[in-house]
Amino acid sequence: MVFSITKKAIIATVLLVVFCAVGVVALLNADVQAVYNGKVERKIPVYNVDRDDKLVALTFDAAWGGDKTEQILELLNKYGVKATFFLVGFWIDKYPDLVKKIDDAGMEIGNHSKNHYNMSKLDDQTKSQEIDYVNTKIMELTGKTPKFFRAPFGDYNNALMGVLEQKSMIGIQWDVDSLDWKGLSGQEIAKRVAKAKSGSIILCHNNSDNILDAIPLVISNLQNQGYKLVTMSELVYQQNYYVDNNGVQHLK
């Protein structure tokens, strides 16, 4: 009799474990299906823009070093090109005169955070402080407040995108990575950038090894294909838009 009761208890316990496992799997599957079906909204920055007018944006991230920046501005001016410089706060503090020269040259200035941290790892208050510091500094130096933010390392999450929305700023990524920071030659950089298309956002850095050799090749190649290089404000829609799951910005 005792054996019979124990056996029933064991069977009941096994069934309970099985039912619980099935329930957990069902819940996990529901979550996966929700993401797959788009029911869980993921906020995505702009990687490129849906347009067919052969506009592309050349962008430079500035965090370390500034000795090539004036020469970059001279080259851009020589070719009649406007670009966007995403500046880090500690770079601004070290090179305030270069910030003014970038602005005076007619280039656009974007926000690249104060300290170049992984933004997704910060709490919302610190995220906000990282962004506000740069906006304030740029306003003091140029009289203009940045409209666009590029996260260091391309590190975005929904919380960061929410902070940007509160500040009426647009998160910017890229779809063409020059990889200039890897020490590529000017020709290698230009070859990588040659895959740009209408609406592309091109990532470069202001102090990479061979950027001065690359810029004339990059610009000439694109211009020979009929592309016009413009600022983020000229490329990106700032009202009545949506960004799809691939990071492509569309007009509504």
Active site (annotated) includes residue 116? no
Q: Report which secondary-structure segment, H or E, holds 187.
A: helix 186-193
Q: Is 195 exposed, middle or buried, given 0-12, 13-18 or 19+ CB atoms closer than 10 A?
A: exposed
Measured distance between the N- and C-terminal CA atoms of the chain, rounded to whole angstroms: 74
Are 57 and 178 spatial neighbours (Cβ–Cβ below 8 Å)? no
Kindly name the residue from 67, 205, 244, 250 that is annotated as catalytic: 205
Q: Rounded CA gap, 218 and 148, in Å?
A: 23
Question: Minimal CA–CA distance to 229: which of 46, 55, 52, 48?
Answer: 55
Active site (annotated) includes residue 132? no
Q: Rounded CA gap, 136 and 20, in Å?
A: 54
Question: Minimal CA–CA distance to 226: which of 48, 51, 56, 47?
Answer: 56
Kindly name the residue from 61, 112, 175, 180 that is annotated as catalytic: 61
In sequence order, what are the residues at sequence separation of 6 or more whose Cβ sits closer than 8 angstroms to the Cβ of residue 4? none
Tokens of 185: 């030659």
Are 148 and 30 spatial neighbours (Cβ–Cβ below 8 Å)? no
Are 84 and 60 spatial neighbours (Cβ–Cβ below 8 Å)? yes
Active-site residues, by number, are: 61, 205
